[in-house]
Amino acid sequence: MNIILSAERSSLNQTRHLYPVILCGGAGKRLWPLSRKNYPKQLLPLASERTMLQETAERARTLIGLRSPVVLCSEEHRFLVAEQLSAIDMIPEAILCEPVSRNTGPALAAAAAYLQERDPEAIMLALPADHYIGDGPAFAEAAFRAVQPAANGWLVTFGIKPTHAETGYGYIERGPALDGGTEGVFSVERFVEKPDAATAALLVADGAHFWNSGMFVLPVGPFLEQLNLYSPEVAAAAGEAITRRRVEDPYVHLDDAAFAASPDLSVDYAVMEHTDRAVIIPADMAWSDIGSWRALRDVKQADHDGNVLQGNVFVEDVQNSYIRADDRLVAVLGLDDVVVVDTDDALLVTHASRAADVGQLVQRLSEMRHPESIQHRRAYRPWGHYESIDLGQRFQVKHIVVKPGAQLSLQMHHHRAEHWVVVAGTARVTCGTQTRLLYENQWVYIPIGSLHRLENPGNIPLHLIEVQIGTYLGEDDIVRFEDNYGRA
């Protein structure tokens, strides 16, 4: 349902040029072990039954006259993004695929260059995909208030009215009100880096400082002009990446070399902290960046002991804690202010006061080459997913699920043979020069070096057990000859 606003009616005339731009990059390390690089928090259902990406897309859809979103994500997540948007009946304007991570500055520069070709008067409503907003009407009111100053060439950011002295956020100091009778819009005096506790308390007390939300309303022409002025290398790299793009609707693949040449800068560092065109709209919309398990606990409905419990959890004499169990029973006794998150292959236990340090823990795990630091046991692919059930010396067992109508690439392996057993559904199997159908309880052997392909010609998911045997069982032992999904 569209939200009817009481904001300035003149801004409604500009909404036909307003495009949601959803930033869906990032690894979400501080919400490990649930969020990991290969399946980060923006793709997870955390604050509701919908994923953070879906919540963000729906929030934009409620605004009058807004077009379908432009989404920026990594190449490896593009199929998941498209699938999640399809699940809420949303067709994106485009999915811009970033070959490497280069922060919000280059991402928004690429989006601006792309939109400028389509609509020179385009205005971007830039929204991180992993933020929580509890007050939708307040968000809509602020967004519409931003449209008119953006149409007049201002670069608008939203400042969140602070509820406490938070050290995990940057701050923005509000300056004088913008001339011209634009209500509730102020110049930006300065940006403040994440402060220590004492400084944060002073900033909150003076009433002129607001949390930096990371949300913007940016007219593409003035934004690119200011970017060229203050970060020309970012502008040039993003523009070249768009010029040399490769399109497979809805995917727009940014040129690898051009985009990788951009400096790794946030949009604040690239433009907003330097320009004299920045303005701020203060807002109170029950916002959180869900930057830690403690932050997630704070936006969820707690029980009478202050606990947020999810899954197969039993507690006794526990207060003010976030405890989540995805499968097995987790019992907690006699603790206060803790975070316990149990997944199928990793368990996190920490005091809530250290929740912000989880990202550093994940970095150390990654340096020690723990695969759990970046990937889940279940791996998602455009055709479905697989899950490693058992792994030992010279063997691995996987549960493979192929979506109806989907097929894996035509491929071969140098170091392993495979045995496939159909558990449910119908499999069309190509091995060498032969193709045949397999049904429940039937199996096939794929020798080392054989050209092969697995397809699901049926109307229900295909479930299959795969037993791999060989000297090397890594995922990089795949030579693809044909692939429906454009993978190398």
Dihedral Cα 153, 219, 102, 46, nearest 10 deg:
120
Last residue of a domain, one of 269, 288, 307: 288
Same domain, 262 and 130: yes
Residue 1 lies in a domain: no
DSSP-assigned letters across all residues of 76-101 = GGHHHHHHHHHHTT---SEEEEESS-
Last residue of a domain, one of 288, 304, 332: 288
Residue 372 lies in a domain: no
The confidence score (pLDDT) of residue 418 equals 97
Structure tokens at 69: 């979103």
Residues in the chain: 488
Q: State the DSSP H helix or E strand holding residue 141, giving kind and residue range, or none if neither.
A: helix 136-151
Structure tokens at 181: 């009778």
Q: Cα(245)–Cα(251) distance, rounded to whole angstroms?
A: 10
Same domain, 82 and 140: yes
Q: State the DSSP H helix or E strand holding residue 481, giving kind and residue range, or none if neither.
A: strand 479-482
Same domain, 38 and 16: yes
Same domain, 266 and 301: no
The confidence score (pLDDT) of residue 13 equals 57
Decide if 292 contacts 166 (C-beta within 8 A): no
Same domain, 125 and 253: yes
Residue 374 lies in a domain: no
The confidence score (pLDDT) of residue 181 equals 54
Stretches where the chain sits below pLDDT 50 are 1-10
Residue 187 lies in a domain: yes
Same domain, 326 and 404: no
Any residues with CB less than 8 A from the CB of 381 and at least 6 apart, and which?
79, 408
Q: What is the pLDDT of residues 405-439, one digit of tens each?
A: 999 999 999 999 999 999 999 999 999 999 999 99
Same domain, 127 and 56: yes
Nearest CA among 103, 330, 129 for reference residue 238: 103
Residue 444 lies in a domain: yes
The domain of 321 spans: 293-367
Q: What percent of the chain has pLDDT over 90?
A: 86
Residue 400 lies in a domain: yes
Q: What CATH number is given to the structural domain containing 102?
A: 3.90.550.10
Amino acid found at 94: A
Last residue of a domain, one of 261, 288, 315: 288
Decide if 171 contacts 192 (C-beta within 8 A): yes
Same domain, 339 and 438: no
- Helices and strands (H, E) in the chain, number of each type: 11, 28
Same domain, 131 and 252: yes
Same domain, 338 and 466: no
Structure tokens at 387: 């899950």
The confidence score (pLDDT) of residue 402 equals 97
Decide if 216 contacts 159 (C-beta within 8 A): no
Residue 66 lies in a domain: yes
C-alpha triplet 179, 185, 188: angle, nearest 5° = 90
In degrees rounded to 5, what are phi and psi of residue 39?
-155, 80
Q: How many CB atoms are located within 10 Å of the residue 7 CB?
A: 18
* Predicted TM-score (pTM) of this structure: 0.89
Structure tokens at 134: 């509890």
Same domain, 197 and 320: no
Residue 488 lies in a domain: no
Alpha helices in 250-320 (DSSP H): 256-260, 267, 293-299
Structurally, the chain folds into a number of domains equal to 3
Same domain, 181 and 194: yes
Structure tokens at 177: 């009100």
The confidence score (pLDDT) of residue 409 equals 95
